[in-house]
Amino acid sequence: MGRGEREDIARGGRLLEAARALAGDHGRAVDAVRAALAPIQDAAVRQELDALPVARLQDVTGGRLRLGGVEKSGLRSVGGVLDAGPYRLRQIPGVGQRTADQILAAARRLSEAVHETVAVHIDVDRPEPATTALVTALHVLVEAGPDARRAVDRADGLAERLGPLLEDARPVGARLRMLVAGKEKRARALDAVAGIRALVEEAERAGLPELFAQASVDLLRGPASDVAAWVDFELRSAEYYSLLAEVSGRMPDTAAAEGFLPDGIAERVRAQRLDDSRRRVSLRGYQAFGARFALAQRKVILGDEMGLGKTIQAIAVMAHLAAEGRSHFLVVCPASVLVNWTREIEARSALRVAVLHGPDRHDAFADWKGRGGVAVTTFDALRGFPGPDGAEVGVLVVDEAHSVKNPKAKRSRAVALWAEHCDRALFMTGTPMENRVAEFRNLVGMLDPRLAQSLDERDTPAGSVGFRQAVAPVYLRRNQQDVLTELPSLQQTDEWEEPSPSDEEAYREAVRAGNFMAMRRAAYARPETSAKLGRLREIVREAGENGQRTVVFSHFKDVLGVVREALAEDGGTTLFGPLTGSVPAGRRQRIVDDFGAADGPAVLLAQIQAAGVGLNLQAASVVVLCEPQIKPTTEHQAVARAHRMGQVRPVRVHRLLATGGVDERLVRMLERKTRLFDAYARRSAVAEATPDAVDVSDLDLARRIVEEEQERLGVTDAGLTASG
């Protein structure tokens, strides 16, 4: 046996060592999370058990226990019973050995049940040593990202194949051992060497040695500081909670995560492979299932409740198909979310984006046809493009699909034409369409005409089990409370809107006048064509249809007036406020109380300076910020009014931003200069008492932005006016 064979074995050994080292590094990172989680979880379990009355032991035993004497003895909770133990229980009159054993067995069963279901909530406003340890441990895995997870999976698979081959090839490593080995063993050893060589060459072509090395480095690199870990947690809390659920094994109920689909369809979806090589973010379990559902069923409606990440599920579908060789994808959406789609695709995937909007949309369409990528366009623009030519489009994605529920509308006919000629279609809507059988049937008709014809409103009442079974082949919907195990969570979304021509005109006038405050609210100066106002109305409408309450914050009273008029015109929602600084404190609280007690959809309008401090608004689970604030602390404190103890639903924050002007400059400047420092300062009691101390100078910031915008737009410098 020559040097070449021994070198092949040595290369295989080094690769196996790297794979096992990576698995070990990942295992230690996971163990660190579990070790940090254990005391927090135990404390949460203990708190639950101390709150459970002794009478709950009857639930476990079917009412067979006599507990009167136990309660009279002073043991009033299940936690107290567990602490008491068998000796103290037997001292209670009427409680013998058998009864004591039964009581303790029932208490332990309740303890196990609580341990399985208790949720750990990480409080960013009150970081403690235990939660800080958990956040920093999770930070290692989050920062390593999906690439590390993929590397570990590849390492595990490689080790499984390489380990046995190296064992079989051992005789080749020593000449004497090879000489004394039998004929069959020598042949197996030579075959193993060939297998090792092939595996090593395959791994090197795929760049696995470098991938393993980088993943190990990422897993061994801790956060720069506890503060950096907390800042990252605030920015990416969903990823932290997702990993926490995975590591702890506390995943959502499987049936709920799968939308209570029939077993046959659910099994087919589970078997669907999902390639993540073109995707830059990890998916939660229910999101991966949603992407698989769209791939397995080909033409579907994803009706997840607002805030569950329908966009990332659509991106996952496109990324998978791109990895399989598909080159063209089409997203159709309202103009108000076009910019968001573009940014999400760029940030969360390796897919090329082509915007088919504006005066050059036909040239952009022709370019997309030639080069491929994800084309993002609007319902109105879609009507002006040539019809589809067969299977070129890998998947048609239609956002806010309830917008095409009227089959007679031109936009609906255009979408139906494309859906008919595309192999796959993914319609998305947060509106609970199962409550509207006629409208739902129209959408289904674009995807599966036969199924649509079978949906008879008289035979399938909305929301019935029969209805869900009938539409299961094309419809998947999950609710937040069923799949987000870490409730309450905070989900923050920057809603980038492209200004309308009249928005641009109003903004230019404010810039020419050098009026910084007018620049900030120019997006609402002409309500009839306001892009921001249009998106705000959509958010409020969808929240109302999902039975959620909304609080709308703005710095400006006149903006709140515009919003109130628009929402009053829409109808269907009870309006409260505006709550401004001129409203007496007692009256403010009554407004908040009335808002919390309102039946059905409700909106509270509030000036951010007046409602951002001192009031609890946990009745609201949707928060809209009409414009970015100059001081980061102002936004944080306002959001904290809703996202705090007592909030039972996830809080979704929508910050409305206009592209290309003051909003973009404000966001960029404040993120660059104050994000880390501000996050640190908010954990200081002194900083909370004097928030102005950590914010950038308002006047300096305003002056800089006005001057830069005047220069960009080429308008006369009229000096700075900071009046509101």
Residue 636 vs residue 14, higher pLDDT: 14
Order across the sheet with 622-625: list the strands.
490-497, 651-658, 622-625, 550-554, 602-607, 574-579
Kindly report, residue by residue over 658-687, the tens digit of the pLDDT.
Answer: 998 999 988 887 665 444 333 333 233 333
**CB 166 within 8 Å of CB 200:** no
> What is the average per-residue pLDDT within 703-716?
87
Percentage, residues of the chain above pLDDT 90: 43
pTM for the full predicted model:
0.66
Kindly report, residue by residue over 68-120, the tens digit of the pLDDT.
Answer: 788 788 888 889 889 988 888 888 888 888 888 888 888 888 888 888 777 78
Task: Scan for tokens 């660190």, then name that residue.
Answer: 32
Q: Return all residues near 94 (Cβ < 8 A) that are at least 6 apart.
A: 66, 68, 69
Q: Which of 264, 239, 207, 31 has its CA nearest to residue 139?
A: 239
pLDDT at 690: 37
Q: How many angstroms separate the CA atoms of 4 and 200, rounded?
A: 14
Q: Residue 73: is it exposed, middle or buried by C-beta count within 10 angstroms (0-12/13-18/19+)? A: middle
| Least confident stretch, 22-36, 115-129, 134-148, 327-341 | 115-129
pLDDT at 326: 96
Kindly report, residue by residue over 381-426, the tens digit of the pLDDT.
Answer: 999 998 887 668 999 999 989 889 888 999 999 999 999 999 999 9
What band does 646 get if pLDDT is binned at 50, 70 and 90?
very low
Mean pLDDT of the chain: 84
Residue 295 vs residue 651, higher pLDDT: 295
Q: Return all residues near 203 (Cβ < 8 A) that are at least 6 apart.
A: 15, 158, 209
Q: How many angstroms separate the CA atoms of 395 and 425, rounded?
A: 5
Give the count of beta carbons closer than 10 Å to the beta carbon of residue 454: 14
pLDDT at 172: 67
pLDDT at 648: 47
- State yes or no: pLDDT of 179 exceeds 70: no
Q: Return all residues near 664 (Cβ < 8 A) that are at least 6 apart.
A: 657, 658
pLDDT at 290: 95
Domain residue limits, the chain? 1-120+137-221, 251-483, 490-713
| Least confident stretch, 33-37, 370-374, 595-599 | 595-599
**How would CATH label the architecture of 251-483?**
3-Layer(aba) Sandwich (3.40)
Query: In degrees rounded to 5, what are phi and psi of residue 396?
Result: -95, 120
124 SS3 class = coil
> What is the average per-residue pLDDT within 330-349?
88
Percentage, residues of the chain above pLDDT 70: 85
pLDDT at 685: 32
**CB 629 within 8 Å of CB 555:** yes
> What is the average per-residue pLDDT within 256-275?
92
What band does 486 get if pLDDT is binned at 50, 70 and 90?
low
pLDDT at 551: 93
- State yes or no: pLDDT of 30 exceeds 70: yes
- Strand ranges in 580-621 using DSSP code E only, listed in sequence order: 602-607
- State yes or no: pLDDT of 724 exceeds 80: no
pLDDT at 457: 54
**CB 154 within 8 Å of CB 20:** no
Residue 67 vs residue 218, higher pLDDT: 218
Residue 400 vs residue 376, higher pLDDT: 376
- State yes or no: pLDDT of 626 exceeds 70: yes
What band does 240 get if pLDDT is binned at 50, 70 and 90?
confident
Q: How many angstroms separate the CA atoms of 598 and 466, rounded?
A: 33
CA 43 to chain centre: 27
CATH of domain 490-713: 3.40.50.300
Q: How many angstroms separate the CA atoms of 315 and 317, rounded?
A: 5
- State yes or no: pLDDT of 458 exceeds 60: no
> Tokens at residue 570, please?
């829409």
Q: Which of 115, 145, 172, 138 has its CA nearest to residue 32?
A: 138
DSSP 691: G
pLDDT at 281: 83
DSSP 279: B
pLDDT at 16: 93
**CB 12 within 8 Å of CB 200:** yes
> What is the average per-residue pLDDT within 628-652?
70
Q: How many angstroms separate the CA atoms of 9 and 200, rounded?
A: 10
The Cα-based distances of 96 to 63, 70, 182, 510 in angstroms read 18, 12, 71, 84
Query: In degrees rounded to 5, what are phi and psi of residue 155?
Result: -65, -45
> What is the average per-residue pLDDT within 684-706?
55
pLDDT at 683: 31
What do you get for the CA distance between the two ends of the chain, in Å? 86
Order across the sheet with 393-398: list the strands.
353-356, 373-378, 328-333, 393-398, 425-428, 299-302, 475-476
Give the count of beta carbons closer than 10 Å to the beta carbon of residue 417: 15
Task: Scan for tokens 């599966």, then name that residue.
Answer: 448
> Tokens at residue 598, please?
């309102």
What band does 695 get if pLDDT is binned at 50, 70 and 90?
very low
CA 381 to chain centre: 29
pLDDT at 526: 95
What band does 633 get if pLDDT is binned at 50, 70 and 90?
low
Residue 147 vs residue 691, higher pLDDT: 147
- Which contiguous run of DSSP H or E holds residue 373? strand 373-378
Q: How many angstroms separate the CA atoms of 329 and 352, rounded?
A: 10
pLDDT at 63: 66
